[in-house]
Structure 1
């Protein structure tokens, strides 16, 4: 493994597992709000309040995971994850049709050497404020990782979020293409205080009605 690829084998492990990381700008999910207008005053007398049609809010997407944050470390390591994952309302019954991007970077120190990868989302499931997502790595400085699937999990707790990744027990991404969709380890990592925030839009499970 080259020095450019990973800072060293020891840069892989942190506590239970080590990783390469990435960073990219997250996109926050905007929500619409209905607006009404008060009635007009005519000739000094209050005219009958005219109810104007409410603006129709855009359909709420079925689920989402967005945002960017660094992981907590006691070392000089600089580790950043970014997500922009969405499940359209029309695909509410098909989490494997989720779209979007992810990116992660793991540097030995801010501005230092390390590994990075980014790719496209291919599955997203959320429950309450917890999300699990997977994606295919499309660009990276670690040759063996390109084309492999990786998974992530996030627990959205305001600015005290937690994060997990599919390589928690293996010391680093191993280039596997066999990881099943929407599969990852529990969100065991802490987010570094003041570095960012993840946002999870809960999935409303389409339970059968008959």
Structure 2
């Protein structure tokens, strides 16, 4: 299970990460709303712990944008704001539960486990046009046709589907898929985009990957 922590108090964020890791969760922490939203939009997390008072974008905005993208990941708002109006606004923004600071670690863990249980066996997927990307099996499917993706094909396709009609640059794809320290070059991205185009065609998908010079790639839907 992967958990994303979006919390600007670094000491708290890092201690939460350490605690959750010790309980067997794979955890990542980011320290501002803008970065947190970017991570959340990857669609790879099973739960998000989200503070409200964050630099650049507050938690309400982040939660709303996550839900606009139809990402159904459970969101646990963890904040010092305890007024009823704040809680109502948090839940209306898309949060599933609201936990007030200071909190007991046992209460936090119980809430995390409860939210994950509630998620159950719900399919975790991204959809664009008539095409579905299963985030657990790494399969790309259209109607009754499906094709398995390699690890890097999956990462590139996931980022494209999250971005949708918004451009994502080759540099961004290189960094997120191959990593900062990789020797990979932009040609690697072009090769994998070529692989994905063939696989989309093979399953009868109505989406295609558009390349725009200097801007990168985005998805388009036929018709």
Larger RCO (CA within 8 A; separation ≥ 6): 1
Same-fold call, TM cutoff 0.5 = no
TM-score interval, smaller chain: under 0.3
Q: Which has the higher strand share?
A: 1
| Larger-gyration structure (1/2) | 1
Name the TM-score, length of structure 1 as normaliser: 0.24
